Amino acid sequence: MRRGWSRGALGLVLALVLAGCVGGGEPEQVSTPRPGAETSGQLTVWGWDAAIKSLKVVDAGFRQAYPNITVKYVAKPPMDTYRNIQLALSAGSGAPDISVIEDSHLAQFVKLGGLADVTDLVKPYTDQVNAYRWKPATKDGRVYAMPWDSGPVAVFYRRDVFAKAGVDPASIRTWEDYYRAATVIKQKTGIPMWPQPRARNDARLLEMLLWQQGLGYVDAQGNVILDKDPRVQRTLEFMGRFWREDLSLDSEWWQDPWYKALGGGKVATIPEAVWMGTFFRDFIDPKGTGHWGVFKLPVWEPGGSQASNDGGSTLAIFEQSKQKDAAWAYVEYHLTRPESQLQIYEKTDIFPALETTYQDPFFQEPSEYFGGQKVRELFVDVVRNIPEAGVYTSEYQEMNALMASEVQSFALGKQTAQQALAKAAAAIRSRTSRA
């Protein structure tokens, strides 16, 4: 193990790099001036391939509107982008002007500081964006990012599998119905209902099911509710039935076997956000026109909510940027104009948070890939009803990791749902100093 010492040393060196500026001052709260067509600058935008590909869709128009602004994109996977942001903030320089940041990580950066206060600039759009999106972008009444795409969740299902099992998706109204359908499908076709790994569970589905009920890790006051609200336990126990009765596909998400199972009709449904459709069409099941249909999330009780969220991203401007007016011109052009958002949605399927786009006839058109179903309309209906929930907190990553570990242990049959939630709640309380 020759690298033993040098590895330890590397950690210390990284700590040094981070240590650059303990005791830096409070970031001043400046609002950038409104940009005009003469605004100039050379912007650097960080993001990942899919996001940058989408932003580029409207770049030609942007160049015409702002001929003096040039844009350079740097594409890295999300986690690398976040780590680089953290390092740049610590070092006090090196941050881009703008970065794509997912809602799941946004609150952490908002709490950390280093993002520019855009409260006054986003004010005209407050009512035009899905209301629930402002929460992770806001701290002490100030807003630090502009929402881009939202992640309304519904159930994607294989039409062929349902037909073979003789199950009518319209008959699934409650989660209890969904469970019954799962047993029928398993019995008739041998195909599991949803992909939910035991040992490598990432707790994201649990989060979606909780969000649907307006629940999360914490309540509006920031207190941990995992072991307090009985609905959380009910939800986890519901998932437990699928593991016990072997109704779930035991395969890790976003890995090759999982892609193959989805593409090859080896799993009947997957509850996931609208962007899952893009993945299906682009590479999981590109030849699968007509394979997939969509129905809204079943309810937990009659009249309950059918809307949940997974993911969603924003554009944030950095305090370090020397050209904030040009940066805002970019954000405003790409995210707040219905034309831009529609163009991006039509070309790359990134679902806009900007509600002024929803009236466009494009949303009422049938979607060819989904067998002519009016899928876009369905997701608009969902996104308008997504409740606020305490999932994407400033310690989301840590909460998710602690929760996932306990869910895994529960799924493997090593503890009860109640024990899992009690342990996760205790760990989260002690690690994040919450009540």
Partner 1 sequence: MARHAAEPAALPRARERGRRRAWIVAFRRYRAPYLFILPFFVLFAVFFLYPIGFSLSLSLHEWSGFGPARFVGLGNYRLLLRDELFWGSMLNATILFLIYVPAMTLLALVLASVLHSRYLRLQGLWRALIFLPNITSMVAAGYVFRLMLDTDSGLANRFLSFFGVSPIPWLDDIWWARISLGLLLVWAWLGWNTVIMLAGLQTIPPELLDAARVDGANAVQIFRRITVPLLRPQILFAVTLSIIGTYSLFTEPFVLTRGGPVQATTTPVYQVFTSTFEYAKVGYGAAMSYVYFAVIVVLTLFQFWALSRERPAGRGR
Cα dihedral 28, 33, 35, 39 sign: negative
Contact segment (CB under 8 A) with partner 1 among 36-44, 143-151, 204-212, 398-406 equals 398-406
Least CB distance from residue 107 to partner 1, whole Å?
A: 11
Closest by alpha carbon to 332, among 122, 64, 51? 122
Question: Would you give the DSSP letter of residue 299?
Answer: B
Q: Are strands 194-195 and 153-158 parallel, antiparallel or unpaired?
A: unpaired
- Out of 15, 60, 170, 435, which residue is the one contacting partner 1 (CB under 8 A)? 15
Span 77-136, contacts to partner 1 by CB under 8 A: 83, 86, 89-90, 108, 111-114
Contact segment (CB under 8 A) with partner 1 among 207-215, 294-302, 309-317, 400-408 equals 400-408
Closest by alpha carbon to 295, among 164, 181, 424, 148? 181
- Out of 30, 163, 199, 220, which residue is the one contacting partner 1 (CB under 8 A)? 199
Contact segment (CB under 8 A) with partner 1 among 36-44, 50-58, 251-259, 327-335 equals 251-259
Least CB distance from residue 15 to partner 1, whole Å?
A: 5
Least CB distance from residue 56 to partner 1, whole Å?
A: 29
* 23 near partner 1, judged by CB under 8 A: yes
Least CB distance from residue 23 to partner 1, whole Å?
A: 5
Contact segment (CB under 8 A) with partner 1 among 63-71, 225-233, 256-264, 373-381 equals 256-264
User: CA–CA distance from 254 to each of 45, 63, 197, 262, 409 (Å)?
Assistant: 26, 36, 11, 11, 21
- Out of 93, 256, 287, 435, which residue is the one contacting partner 1 (CB under 8 A)? 256
**Exposure pattern of 372-383 as b/e (b: 16+ CB <10 Å)?**
ebebbebbbebb
- What does the alpha-carbon distance between residue 267 and residue 259 come to, in Å, rounded to a whole number? 10
* Nearer to partner 1 among residue 15 and residue 60 (C-beta): 15
SS3 244: helix
Question: Would you give the DSSP letter of residue 363?
Answer: G
> Is there a contact between 97 and 44 (Cβ–Cβ < 8 Å)?
yes
* 33 near partner 1, judged by CB under 8 A: no
* Nearer to partner 1 among residue 343 and residue 397 (C-beta): 397
Contact segment (CB under 8 A) with partner 1 among 61-69, 70-78, 140-148, 249-257 equals 249-257
Contact segment (CB under 8 A) with partner 1 among 20-28, 31-39, 47-55, 335-343 equals 20-28
* 257 near partner 1, judged by CB under 8 A: yes
* Nearer to partner 1 among residue 176 and residue 250 (C-beta): 250
Least CB distance from residue 255 to partner 1, whole Å?
A: 8
Least CB distance from residue 228 to partner 1, whole Å?
A: 21
Least CB distance from residue 163 to partner 1, whole Å?
A: 25
7: left (phi over 0), alpha (psi -120 to 50) or beta: alpha
> Is there a contact between 379 and 152 (Cβ–Cβ < 8 Å)?
yes
- Out of 401, 416, 422, 434, which residue is the one contacting partner 1 (CB under 8 A)? 401
- Out of 321, 395, 403, 421, which residue is the one contacting partner 1 (CB under 8 A)? 395
Least CB distance from residue 362 to partner 1, whole Å?
A: 38
* 197 near partner 1, judged by CB under 8 A: yes
Contact segment (CB under 8 A) with partner 1 among 46-54, 139-147, 290-298, 404-412 equals 404-412
> Is there a contact between 227 and 422 (Cβ–Cβ < 8 Å)?
yes
> Is there a contact between 371 and 277 (Cβ–Cβ < 8 Å)?
no
- Token pair, residue 203, equals 């707790």
Q: Where do the H-state alpha helices sit in 282-416? A: 324-331, 338-348, 375-383, 396-411
- Token pair, residue 233, equals 């336990």
- Token pair, residue 94, equals 């090196």
- What does the alpha-carbon distance between residue 435 and residue 428 come to, in Å, rounded to a whole number? 9
Query: Angle between the 396-411 and 204-212 helix axes, to the nearest 10 degrees?
Result: 110
- Token pair, residue 195, equals 């992909």
Binding-site size, partner 1 (CB under 8 A): 56
* 409 near partner 1, judged by CB under 8 A: yes
HSE, side-chain direction, 13 A CA sphere, residue 265: 17
Positions in the binding site for partner 1 (CB under 8 A): 1-5, 7-9, 11-16, 18-19, 21-27, 83, 86, 89-90, 108, 111-114, 197-200, 250-251, 255-257, 260, 395, 397-398, 401-402, 404-405, 408-409, 412, 414, 427, 430-431
